[in-house]
């Protein structure tokens, strides 16, 4: 029986060498993802979602980006210490990836068919004709009408939604065990987003793959994910099963995020709750808890000591010194 845990990230630290010195974009991040489940990663711009994904795929911009500590166990292999041939085999083979802007990931001068087939030739060792036939099947599976005709088209001839479908076809061509999707629908309209998210959910249940879905949209998280990791300034603030996170958010940041989005039930034109201030930059992170300059509960301990993730329930982890007290407080 295969292990249930598909991906396990432990103590991941990823740093960038910048003109102003070394900054830790991801700092001691822990989480794990089980087969057949969707893990959402949510947080504001710059909190380290994409850097975490790039670290897992070992696609950090070189030479600035470096993993300086931690392990990333995927199907028994530590991706942090894996050599290049192993990484080539895994990437696009066992791990499929889709990004926000498919235009940057697709090769503009190659036909769609060739791009899907290439991945099959590389990872499955099948020959060109068979690979092209499989490509037609993949395009059909991701809901592209007249797939035979699309094979010979170029990416720019497709709409944004169609391009994202092609990206998904490429990512899934080799039956990966893990799909990493970094803001796959952020550039799309809500109606097309609904199509793409439904497609990813359908393919997940057909294949039993695990999905790591990065988004800043809490609605997408609520609808698509089984588990959620909330990141803030390069760290995990809270991790929980999705229902638990929405029903019983414990971290003040998670609470602030959930409260600040207008819902369809929020009284119209009422002032929305806000999180004071803004996200600190990596160069001027506060000491202690990174949220302390925006947190209504911050005290001296918070300004001194960094909170570690602690267990607050079944699968529910929170990095806050005062979560127990906060849990008892009624949200307004």
Partner 1 sequence: MSTPLLELRELATHFPVRGGVLLRATGTNRAVDGVSLSVQRGETLGLVGESGCGKSTLGKTVVRLLQPTSGSILFEGQDISNLSRRRLKPLRRELQMVFQDPAESLNSRHTVGNLIEEPLIIHGVGTAAERAARVRELLDLVGLPASAAEKFPFEFSGGQRQRISIARAIALGPKLLVCDEPVSALDVSIQSQILNLFLDLQAELGLAYLFIAHDLAVVRHVSDSIAVMYLGRIMEYADTDDLMDRPRHPYTQALITAIPVPDPTRRSTRTILSGDVPSPIDPPSGCPFHTRCPHAEARCRNERPLLREAARKGSTPHLVACHFDF
Chain residues in the site for Mg ion (CB under 5 A): 50
* 51 belongs to the binding site for ligand ATP (CB under 6 A): yes
Q: What angle do CA 112, 116, 118 make, to 5 degrees?
A: 115
| Rounded-to-integer distance, Cα 31 and Cα 251, Å | 16
Q: Which of 6, 9, 25, 317 binds ligand ATP (CB under 6 A)?
A: 25
Is the Cβ of residue 64 or residue 194 nearer to ligand ATP in the bound state? 64
Q: Which of 106, 174, 197, 298 binds partner 1 (CB under 8 A)?
A: 197
| Rounded-to-integer distance, Cα 53 and Cα 314, Å | 25
* 289 belongs to the binding site for ligand SF4 (CB under 6 A): yes
Sequence-distant (6+) residues with CB within 8 A of 17 are 63, 64, 66
Q: Of 100, 285, 122, nearest to 196 (Cα)?
A: 100
Is the Cβ of residue 224 or residue 292 nearer to ligand SF4 in the bound state? 292
Q: Of 178, 257, 186, 255, nearest to 220 (Cα)?
A: 186
CB of 263 to ligand ATP, least distance (A): 22
CB of 85 to partner 1, least distance (A): 40
Structure tokens at 250: 């414990």
Is the Cβ of residue 8 or residue 223 nearer to partner 1 in the bound state? 223
Structure tokens at 103: 């235009």
Binding segment for ligand SF4 (CB under 6 A), chosen from 28-36, 77-85, 264-272, 293-301, is 293-301
Binders of ligand ATP in range 212-231 (CB under 6 A)? 216
Q: Which of 50, 100, 119, 193 binds partner 1 (CB under 8 A)?
A: 193
Structure tokens at 20: 């102003």
Helix 112-124 / helix 128-141 crossing angle, nearest 10 deg: 120
Instruction: Look at residue 152 and give the partner it binds from Mg ion, ligand ATP, partner 1, none, a contact being a CB closer than 5 to 8 Å depending on partner kind.
Output: none
* 255 belongs to the binding site for ligand SF4 (CB under 6 A): no
| Rounded-to-integer distance, Cα 328 and Cα 42, Å | 24
Is the Cβ of residue 36 or residue 46 nearer to Mg ion in the bound state? 46
CB of 50 to partner 1, least distance (A): 14
Let me know: does 173 contact 119? Beta carbons within 8 Å: yes
Is the Cβ of residue 137 or residue 219 nearer to partner 1 in the bound state? 219
Cα atoms in the Cβ-side hemisphere of radius 13 Å centred on 311: 3
For 304: left if phi > 0, alpha if psi spans -120 to 50, otherwise beta; the answer is alpha
Residue 63: cis peptide before it, omega within 30 degrees of 0: yes
Q: Count the neighbouring beta carbons within 10 Å of the beta carbon of residue 226.
A: 17
Let me know: does 284 contact 293? Beta carbons within 8 Å: no
* 297 belongs to the binding site for ligand ATP (CB under 6 A): no
- The size of the interface with ligand SF4 (CB under 6 A), counted in residues, is 13
Q: Which of 48, 92, 102, 252 binds ligand SF4 (CB under 6 A)?
A: 252
Residue 93 DSSP symbol: T
Q: Which of 211, 295, 309, 317 binds ligand SF4 (CB under 6 A)?
A: 295
* 146 belongs to the binding site for partner 1 (CB under 8 A): no
Under the rule (CB under 6 A), what is the footprint of ligand ATP?
A: 16, 18, 25, 43, 45-51, 61, 64-65, 216, 282
Under the rule (CB under 8 A), what is the footprint of partner 1?
A: 44-45, 159-162, 189-195, 197-198, 216-224, 242-243, 246-247, 256-258, 260-264, 266, 268-269, 271-275, 278-279
Under the rule (CB under 6 A), what is the footprint of ligand SF4?
A: 251-252, 289, 291-292, 295, 297-298, 302, 307, 320-322
């Amino acid at each position: 029986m295969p292990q249930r845990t598909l991906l396990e990230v432990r103590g991941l630290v990823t740093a960038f060498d910048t003109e102003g010195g070394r900054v830790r974009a991801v700092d001691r991040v822990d989480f794990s993802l089980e087969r057949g489940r969707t893990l959402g990663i949510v947080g504001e711009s710059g909190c380290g979602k994409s850097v975490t994904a790039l670290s897992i795929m070992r696609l950090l911009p070189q030479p600035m980006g470096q993993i300086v500590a931690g392990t990333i166990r995927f199907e028994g292999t530590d991706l942090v210490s894996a050599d290049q041939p192993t990484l080539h085999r895994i990437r696009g083979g066992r791990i499929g990836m889709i990004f926000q802007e498919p235009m940057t990931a697709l090769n503009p001068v190659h036909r769609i068919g060739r791009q899907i087939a290439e991945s099959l030739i590389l990872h499955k060792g099948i020959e060109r004709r068979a690979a092209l036939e499989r490509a037609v099947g993949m395009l059909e599976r991701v809901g592209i009408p007249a797939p035979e005709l699309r094979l010979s088209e170029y990416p720019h001839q497709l709409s944004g939604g169609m391009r994202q479908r092609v990206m998904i076809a490429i990512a899934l061509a080799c039956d990966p065990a893990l799909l990493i999707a970094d803001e796959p629908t952020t550039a799309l309209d809500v109606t097309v987003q609904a199509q793409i998210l439904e497609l990813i959910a359908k393919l997940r249940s057909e294949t039993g793959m695990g999905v790591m879905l990065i988004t800043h949209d809490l609605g997408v998280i609520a609808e698509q994910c089984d588990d959620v990791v909330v990141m803030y300034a390069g760290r995990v603030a809270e991790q929980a099963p999705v229902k638990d996170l929405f029903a019983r958010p414990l971290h003040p940041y998670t609470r602030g995020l959930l409260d600040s989005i207008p819902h369809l039930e929020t009284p119209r034109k009422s002032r929305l709750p806000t999180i004071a201030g803004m996200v600190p930059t990596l160069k001027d992170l506060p000491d202690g808890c990174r949220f302390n300059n925006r947190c209504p509960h911050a005290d001296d301990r918070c300004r001194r000591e960094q909170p570690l993730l602690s267990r607050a329930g079944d699968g529910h982890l929170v990095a806050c010194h005062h979560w127990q007290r906060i849990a008892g407080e009624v949200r307004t």
